[in-house]
Amino acid sequence: MTVHIRAAIADDAQAAGEIVHQFQQGTNWMPNLYTLDEVTKLCRTMIDRGWVTVAEVQGQMVGFLARDRSEVCSLYLADDARGQGFGRALLEEAKEVSPELVLRTFEANEAARRFYHRQGFIEIGRGDGTNNDEGLPDIFLQWAQGNWHEQ
């Protein structure tokens, strides 16, 4: 399948919110802190700020990445879109415009940790959960152009 990467528009907020909410509801270690409406409003705010890039296939959103300068704030894929290269495509686009990226992921999210490692991110710190809404231990990761041979 061919993926199309583009800047998000206001109309993308609902689909992005549904992807995040689906992850929240379907992940047993993730607390259900936010309603679909709350998540959609957050996505709308990120889109309004110009942070969001969308991956779509045949006109349907399959995932998105939100980035504030060098910080990757969110990277989510629809359940049925994982493992098909869409997350890598979103990160590659972000790497093209930023010589360094930083992000955090939850310690419990082993799939994301493996994914980011394969994309050349290295661990630079850990948190105990006191600085995130979910209260979950997290890991801080960094990617810098030319610092690591990507697989």
Claim: this prediction has a pTM higher than 0.85: yes
Q: Which amino acid is at 94?
A: A
**Mind listing the pLDDT tens digit for each residue in 129-140?**
999 999 999 999
What does the DSSP 8-state code read for residue 17?
H
pLDDT of residue 151: 44
| Alpha carbon of residue 37 to chain centroid | 19
Distance CA 122, CA 137 (A): 17
Alpha helices (H) along the chain: 13-26, 36-48, 86-97, 110-118
Tokens matching residue 112? 């994301």
Tens of pLDDT, residues 97-128: 999 999 999 999 999 999 999 999 999 999 99
Q: Determine the CATH number of domain 4-144.
A: 3.40.630.30
Q: Where are the domains of the chain?
A: 4-144
